[in-house]
Amino acid sequence: MYSPLNTVIIGFGLVGRVFHAPLIRHTDGLTLRGVVSSRPDDVHADLPDIKVYPEAEQALKDPEVDLIVIATPNDTHAELALAALEAGKHVVIDKPATLDRAELERIIDTARRVKRMVSVFQNRRWDADFLTLKGLLDAGRLGHPTRSHLHFDRFRPEVRDRWRERPGPGSGGWYDLGSHLADQALTLFGTPRGVYADLATLRPGGGAVDYFHVLLRYDHHRVVLSSHALSAHDSLRYAIDGTRASYIKHGIDTQEQTLRDGGTPGQPGWGEDPVRGTLYHGETGDSESIDNAQGEYRAYYANIVAHLHGDADLAVTPEQALDVMRVIDAAHESSATGREVEF
């Protein structure tokens, strides 16, 4: 058992309320000490006993606070992270880490100077289907991957009046969902040779990117990261072709919906994905239904606890986050110029 790390979330919108607060409260070794929000009534409606700081500065000055979690709009991440590190706090930043690679480099340099941890919340490394796919690849069941599709489609025809869907720095699906897919691709396959991207706004009245098709080029492998906000069918999640077999998976991990529905991390059925993928064996033509691993978003925060107590390497490192930002930046450049950006 670890002595608890006092944690404060800055921001209590969807991400802070639905993801971070429940996961922190149900991870051994963490205590949710407070929330920074200008709407204390909203916080107390969900968390009646939690301290609310009106301003981030008050939380950063609190000597009892060990860990700051930044769950604010993307264009505020860098400023808040730098201030928290300078105040001597460890920092978790919700994805995407920053608006670009240069901002993240400043954060990493500061963290090294003040000897504090910084990590980026990439919870979808602990999706049930991603863990299943990673297990198949690690076991060599697909052989060498040659063509991979990683999709994150939704059906959201109405453009909502919120910062993620309005024009502005850090808005749009490429920052939001693309950062998940880029992290998954880099985790599975490493750094590509080049990036070619088409980023677009396709919904009538849309103001931010709601479609992307990003091609990562490897020596003997092509990886497509794809998302569309007007996909009404049972969306493809993964399609991986290898030299031995192919793996196809539809549907999406259930943990986010459980949290949105007010469920509790660790409750019966937590992290279980009922939609199985299928492995197609190339030589025999046989197919095999594959059981999903159990998803577990709390593993991200459990790793933070173990790392800060000196018992584990950091799972999502600043260097990995920097590689994701490199892909994000390259896709913006490629889409603007119509050319591949080589690494």
What pLDDT, on the 0 to 100 scale, is given for residue 2?
A: 81
- How far apart CA 45 and CA 153 sit, in angstroms, is 32
Mean pLDDT of successive 10-residue stretches along the chain, which has 343 residues: 92 96 98 97 95 97 98 97 98 97 98 98 98 98 98 91 87 96 98 98 94 98 97 91 98 97 97 97 95 98 98 98 98 98 95
What pLDDT, on the 0 to 100 scale, is given for residue 84?
A: 98
Q: Quote the CATH superfamily of domain 5-121.
A: NAD(P)-binding Rossmann-like Domain (3.40.50.720)
What pLDDT, on the 0 to 100 scale, is given for residue 233?
A: 85
Residue 229: CA count within 13 A, CB half-sphere: 26
What pLDDT, on the 0 to 100 scale, is given for residue 160?
A: 87
What pLDDT, on the 0 to 100 scale, is given for residue 3?
A: 87
Q: What are phi and psi of 107, to 5 degrees?
A: -65, -45
To the question of pTM greater than 0.85 for the whole model, the response is yes
> For the domain 126-297+326-342, what is the CATH code?
3.30.360.10
Report CA-CA distances (Å) from 189 to 83, 141, 186: 34, 15, 5
What pLDDT, on the 0 to 100 scale, is given for residue 197?
A: 98
What pLDDT, on the 0 to 100 scale, is given for residue 1?
A: 73
Going from N- to C-terminal start, the domains of the chain cover: 5-121, 126-297+326-342
What pLDDT, on the 0 to 100 scale, is given for residue 163?
A: 81
